[in-house]
């Protein structure tokens, strides 16, 4: 599974990255996690509000900080 955290470095972006890593570790998901801070690449995903969460090329969350249960659900749907 390929996960991308889209954000320019704001506190919410860092919090999302930490939460995603915790969910992956706690649930034994096989995933590569990448932090994307390039505005051009973020825009190519169609994301105008950060943080954004992309799983296997699909934008699953934009402009909000999902809780760990939501993150787990997103990852389970894309496994």
DSSP string of 20-50, one letter each residue? HHHHHHHHT---EEEEE--HHHHHHTT--SS
Structural domains counted in the chain: 1
- Note down the domain range covering 60: 2-78
CATH code, 21:
3.40.30.10
Q: Which amino acids are annotated catalytic? A: 10, 13
- Tell me: the pLDDT tens digits for 33-61? 999 999 999 999 999 999 999 999 999 99
Please report which confidence band the pLDDT of residue 11 belongs to, taking 50, 70 and 90 as the band edges.
very high
Q: What's this model's pTM, rounded to 2 decimal places?
A: 0.94
């Amino acid at each position: 599974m390929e996960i991308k955290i889209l954000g320019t470095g704001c506190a919410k972006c860092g919090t999302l990255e930490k939460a995603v890593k915790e969910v992956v570790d706690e649930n034994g998901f096989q995933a590569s996690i990448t932090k994307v801070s390039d505005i051009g690449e973020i825009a190519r995903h169609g994301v105008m509000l950060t943080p954004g969460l992309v799983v296997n090329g699909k934008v699953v969350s934009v402009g909000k900080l999902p809780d760990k249960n939501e993150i787990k659900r997103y990852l389970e749907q894309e496994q």
